Amino acid sequence: MSFETISVIGLGYIGLPTAAAFASRKKSVIGVDVNQHAVDTINKGQIHIVEPDLDKVVKQAVEEGHLKAYTTPQPADAYLIAVPTPFKGEHEPDLAYVEAAARSIAPVLKKGDLIILESTSPVGSTEKMAEWLAEARPDLTFPHQQGEDADIDVAYCPERVLPGQVMIELIRNDRVVGGMNRKSSERASELYKIFLEGECVITNARTAEMCKLTENSFRDVNIAFANELSLICADQDINVWELISLANRHPRVNILQPGPGVGGHCIAVDPWFIVSQNPKQSRLIHTARLVNDGKPVWVIDQVKAAVADCLTETGKRANEIKIACFGLAFKPNIDDLRESPAMNITKQVADWHSGTTLAVEPNIHELPTKLKGITELVSTEQALKEADIVLMLVDHQQFKAIPGSKITQKWIVDTKGVWR
């Protein structure tokens, strides 16, 4: 069966670009999201997130009638579920949004439909989703019941894109396709080839789930090495960025850059899914998570030390000192604040500091709820003019464009080496 109508459930940082990619190939795309504001914004041909080039693709798709957003599922030939998978309890994966999405599409399913789970998920999630669907639609059969003869095909196909480059990498990167049976893999590959220039690499659903977790755990471990090295270098009075630059001249060494921690909904989350299912075997992965989650504590200690020095040298009272936190997003040049160490550090600084805490984030126009009332959202110019202490947390391009010579503050805590 061909895919004339494609539905994407969840129109966030992955779902909306995916919907736009299909719509750009002149397919009829139905986007579904529970956020009425997001739906209304998209139907105006606009976007509610920051992602380069996405706005142009969405605008054209809506104007040409290829993309329409709804708050409830509509009939389609293929459904891609791209909803969050947050934590519950002690870093245990919460599949409540996946279950809700699956049950929401169940009433509109028909024989021959394809369902793809894209959400980052622990091993076994795709099988669980199929069970929820089978429970909701006993009149249809699914791969775990009828194998190749199932009425509905089900696969797990994770994205592997970098925020800020999603519209390029979504199309060019290879895609892992993990069907619950051979037919599901083949049909999922056929679907992605509508826009994919990379290769569809076929495996089974459980391996595909583990592949996504493995990729991000690998990156987390490597970042942890850099972050741990930064702590050691600070203690040894060594410039960690110079050290890494020198070490990376070795032909087989490629150390990543340290930062204030690790954020986002992938690298900061996925390793915990492995740890929760295999706690005894995942000692290195677990330790890396602890190192990266512990880095913000060290950063805050550096801010406290800077405040103490400022108090001593200036004679000011603590409530007269202004601290400017540069960057709230979890990585450069985007507006995504999910699992952001920069935002959490800013909140902790504001909660602790009796003076004014200034927040500088060029990609948002309003402070997130957790920072309202305790920080002020200001421009770069105002922050540099008023602050006694500057804290560099996210190396946005706007901040990197500022020469270090223009930073006149004596007390600088630079977690990214931008103004070193």
Catalytic residue among 212, 295, 322, 347: 212
Catalytic residue among 200, 266, 310, 325: 266
Residues 6+ apart with CB under 8 A from 374: 347, 350, 351, 357
**Which amino acid is residue 257, in one-letter code?**
Q
Give how far Cα 4 sits from Cα of 22, 23, 341, 387, Å. 10, 11, 42, 56
Name the nearest CA neighbour of 405 among 420, 388, 391, 390. Answer: 420
**310 assigned to active site:** no
**212 assigned to active site:** yes
Do 356 and 376 form a contact (C-beta atoms < 8 A)? yes
Do 146 and 152 form a contact (C-beta atoms < 8 A)? no
Residues 6+ apart with CB under 8 A from 365: none
89-98, Cβ contacts within 8 angstroms, sequence gap of 24 or more: 91/272, 91/275, 91/276, 92/276, 93/121, 93/122, 93/125, 93/272, 93/273, 93/276, 95/121, 95/122, 95/125, 95/128, 97/10, 98/125, 98/129
Q: Write the DSSP string, 99-143.
A: HHHHHHHGGG--TT-EEEE-S---TTHHHHHHHHHHHH-TTS--H
Catalytic residues: 212, 266
